Amino acid sequence: MARRMLSFHGSIREMSRAERLLQLMQILRRHRQPVSGATLAAELGVSLRTLYRDIASLQAQGAAIDGEAGLGYVLKPGFMLPPLMFSIEELEALVLGSRWVAERTDSRLAEAARNALAKVAAVLPPDLRQALDTSSLFVPRDRAVVSGDSELASIRAAIRNEHKLDIAYRDGRGNTSQRVIWPFALGFFDRVRMVAAWCEQRQEFRHFRTDRIAGLEVVQECYPRRRHALLKEWRQIEGLPPV
């Protein structure tokens, strides 16, 4: 029992150090100019001796940290330390987000979410991988999502490529009309997926439920405005805060 307790506490100490090293990397990324060891130590809440040891540990693992005691430290751009990419709470956010995507979006995006999480798990050290595998955060399945799965991949591709869509759309009364739209955003709500787009017929921003799209054809023609400009104007009209 005592041996198991020692192992448990050792794991906690190692986890704390791993998170501290991650935090140190994130602090260094925020500073473009050299930052003193005293400043780094104060922000981390550790002694200078511990800070110097952590810097040496990161450098030994390949982190391109320039500087030395008394002069300050700066992290060269482009370095990522795979085993320390995420804290526990960041991992929990990734697990919860991927499970939400797997339950609430289309099948191709759901598969992509599961694949992405598997790739994250592959580069984690054993203790963090166990935390990932045993996460107790779940997304319930108690509400069915409306239809529209088959169109979502085409809609997402059109948004990425800034292509027009020619759709047959049924309104709430069941009337069908033909529309050419410029899709720039796709919203996933609990039971509805909604495309935000500029409608050429109405000459204004409109929202289209994917389950009411009776037919869809991607027009191999880019719409005349950039997606980010449409998104920015739409957010202003809707009173949404900027991203």
Segment-wise mean pLDDT, segments of 10 residues, the chain, 243 residues:
38 60 85 88 92 89 80 77 67 91 87 89 79 86 63 92 96 94 93 94 96 94 95 94 75
**Prediction pTM value:** 0.65
Q: What are phi and psi of 113, to 5 degrees?
A: -65, -45
Query: Could you tell me which CATH number the domain at 149-238 has?
Result: 2.30.30
Range 2-80 classified under CATH 1.10.10.10: yes
CA-wise closest residue to 33 among 61, 70, 56, 66? 66
What does the alpha-carbon distance between residue 71 and residue 194 come to, in Å, rounded to a whole number?
A: 54
pLDDT of residue 15: 45
Contacts of 25 (CB under 8 A, 6+ apart): 58, 63, 75, 81, 84
